[in-house]
Structure 1
């Protein structure tokens, strides 16, 4: 049995709905379907989810949100009418409209998935199952046991279902949103609960590229990668798959296939526990994030001074900024954060560290990008890291920091923002052009 999730671009309009139906009906094993809210199309430049967020903003500002709501309503009615469906979608739209004045953020923003799934279920001839009926969250954690018991009863009545992604309900029965891109998580959870043989994630690209195609034209596709590699690449910025969607399927060793709704005949990317040896390259993928700040503290024998470190962490916590942190040596420690997350607090943080803690020095670096090289080959061939450093050195790219993850599958370089694209390009071009030579050298 397959669980198939279709992203926003796959359900953007009636023509995309038809592509989805052809895919679903093309394999009898596709029995559980998860959909995102209708996304962008040629005639619709804004995602439905973003329009719903706009409604909330207008409502909270005391401004007229009805034109935006009416636009959303016309869009869903147009899909319904063009497909010749009988769903009384106006009734659902009327209910949502009545709820807007007092609706929670989570309820309002989730309605795009709800409406899209209603139409898709009727179009496929499947049963619509509202995610609120079994996607149970408790203190932000998904309740697999309760969800599994409820879903078992639902499936006993109908084995072919369409479920809206992105939301569930909390202990109080209130709508609970997942992180943006959460329909990936919904699909992964559903695959876990149903013990699926395969979780298909249908989007608008034919698998995952080795590097951002906006930087590397005709970037090589990754045919296979491991769950861990996918999780690391997702965390470091690839937008094809949501990072938190990996674990639910990984728990039960359910393979993930990332496929293209617009070109279902093309091979995608397969995610498994172990990649075949002959399918693995020296580097699986390269990803990155721009615009970080780095605060580095220095104190003699800092690694042994837990009292100093506890004072430092107390100050960081006080400013409520989400930092990544890492030991940089015996005497130093570094904190990394997105510039947007730190906002205007950097100077205050540095002043507090200098005034309240007995440190030898506090250093600030801004305009830093993080570029990650991900591959399970890094643990098997440690010399790969040295070769990449040689590539960057010969390209005269200044390295501000190097982070070797404890998992040994990710190597992160900190470079200046202006060197971000150059760094990715140099690593990609050199590794791909000289892979045979590099294999022999290491």
Structure 2
């Protein structure tokens, strides 16, 4: 058995957390490949090292004195090194970073140093080989992740290494410069490594005991999800559930490798297993609830719209022309509604309206702002009658007006539109009807 283990920033924020991680890795010989994030917050008032690096580089780019800021970053790392009683020195690394900051090496380079330095410490602490992610993870000339080249290089390199630490979050572009994934990209690195070594399981360690049915900031003591499929998690991640980076699913999904979300501070808890498919019945009809605020509904009405060939395509051109992505598009015989992100739409609303008028000549265009979308996701919904009815009933009892409901043919999820002000109460109501009534 081969396990790839990725540890998040909160799991590596201090020497004490490092020691917990060391115990977890040493407790299982199959945990052979380790992907660390940069140190996160040690407490609520603390600053993540990645944010410190961004701020430090901004000073360098503005040609202001950044050495004081860099010194504070060095102190963060030295506190970990000293707390672990290591003889390691990062002086040479920080001299190189200082020079490259002065030479304007780029924001991606700056941000990546958090994982890079933490990777050096982790390798030294465990006695594992350190492999710079820039040597095994690649992006093409357009800045897109090159999965073929990466998989080939990573598999070749790790085939000769029994145990290794590969920093998360970054790789290199076609010119050899450091290039990062989006924030939270260390999850993707762990997934890439897992695919390359044909891991039995990819363990993603964080500060929560797996995925929860609903956001614990909204629903107190939300129940954990024991098993979830890739498709279900993809739907929840897209709608705001943030335990795992949504793009981390693709490499392991292709290889059929399960992901286990675990808690560094409670390693004995089983966490959540993320799998391709399962015959295990979910504890509840729904698997999870997630959502986002801040949408606008663009309602387009035109008599006999349904008989006009190409109407929807032409209407959507108005959004494409103005560089606005579309979230959902429920429609009727004479109406179609396009949901878009309010922040993206507000500055271009009149251009979009003009374009719609020009392209499809509608009878009425109406806008409704300050809306939220909530996804109710679950493989169990397909075989359970009355799911939508229970949702409507729960929302009605909570005095919440439903603005939109949309269900895909897969019956894996139902999307509900409500007012921003009703967002929290809507999630609580749905959670209560499906979870609390079964406990």
TM-score normalized with structure 1 length: 0.93
Matches within 5 A, 1:269-348: 269-348=272-351
Aligned to 2:88: 87
Contact 1:226 1:275 in 2 (8 A): yes
Matches within 5 A, 1:413-432: 413-432=416-435
- Cα distance in structure 2, aligned partners of 1:355 and 1:59: 48
Aligned to 1:21: 22
- Cα distance in structure 2, aligned partners of 1:337 and 1:249: 31
Mapped pair 1:225 → 2:257: no
Contact 2:263 2:271 in 1 (8 A): yes
**Counterpart pick for 2:108 among 103, 106, 109:** 106
TM-superposed CA distance for 1:300, in Å, is 2.6
TM-superposed CA distance for 1:378, in Å, is 2.0
TM-superposed CA distance for 1:393, in Å, is 2.2
Aligned to 1:143: 146
Answer with 234-243 or 68-77: which moved more: 68-77
Aligned to 1:439: none
- Going from structure 1 to structure 2, the CA distance change for 1:306 and 1:174 (only over 3 Å counts) comes to farther
Mapped pair 1:358 → 2:361: yes
Matches within 5 A, 1:395-406: 395-406=398-409
Aligned to 1:440: none
SS for the counterpart of 2:382 is helix
RMSD over aligned Cα atoms: 2.0
**Counterpart pick for 1:118 among 109, 117, 120:** 120
Unpaired runs of 5+ residues, structure 1, are 437-442
Q: Deviations over 1:244-282 (max 9, x none)?
A: 111211112111110000111122111112334444420
- Cα distance in structure 2, aligned partners of 1:23 and 1:145: 32
Contact 2:260 2:271 in 1 (8 A): yes
Contact 1:388 1:427 in 2 (8 A): yes
Q: Deviations over 1:285-326 (max 9, x none)?
A: 111101211112122333443554444333212222222241
Aligned to 2:211: 208
Aligned to 1:179: 182
Mapped pair 1:412 → 2:415: yes
TM-superposed CA distance for 1:98, in Å, is 0.8
Q: Deviations over 1:210-258 (max 9, x none)?
A: 1111111111111111111111111111111111111211112111110
- Going from structure 1 to structure 2, the CA distance change for 1:430 and 1:287 (only over 3 Å counts) comes to same
Contact 2:119 2:130 in 1 (8 A): yes
- Cα distance in structure 1, aligned partners of 2:65 and 2:362: 54
Mapped pair 1:42 → 2:61: no
- Cα distance in structure 1, aligned partners of 2:341 and 2:67: 36
Unpaired runs of 5+ residues, structure 2, are none
Mapped pair 1:3 → 2:4: yes
- Cα distance in structure 1, aligned partners of 2:343 and 2:167: 32
**Counterpart pick for 1:385 among 360, 384, 388:** 388
- Going from structure 1 to structure 2, the CA distance change for 1:222 and 1:397 (only over 3 Å counts) comes to same
- Going from structure 1 to structure 2, the CA distance change for 1:397 and 1:152 (only over 3 Å counts) comes to closer
Q: How many residues align?
A: 436
Answer with 250-259 or 169-178: which moved more: 169-178
Aligned to 1:373: 376
Mapped pair 1:255 → 2:258: yes
- Cα distance in structure 2, aligned partners of 1:425 and 1:94: 52
- Cα distance in structure 2, aligned partners of 1:63 and 1:349: 42
- Cα distance in structure 2, aligned partners of 1:59 and 1:323: 38
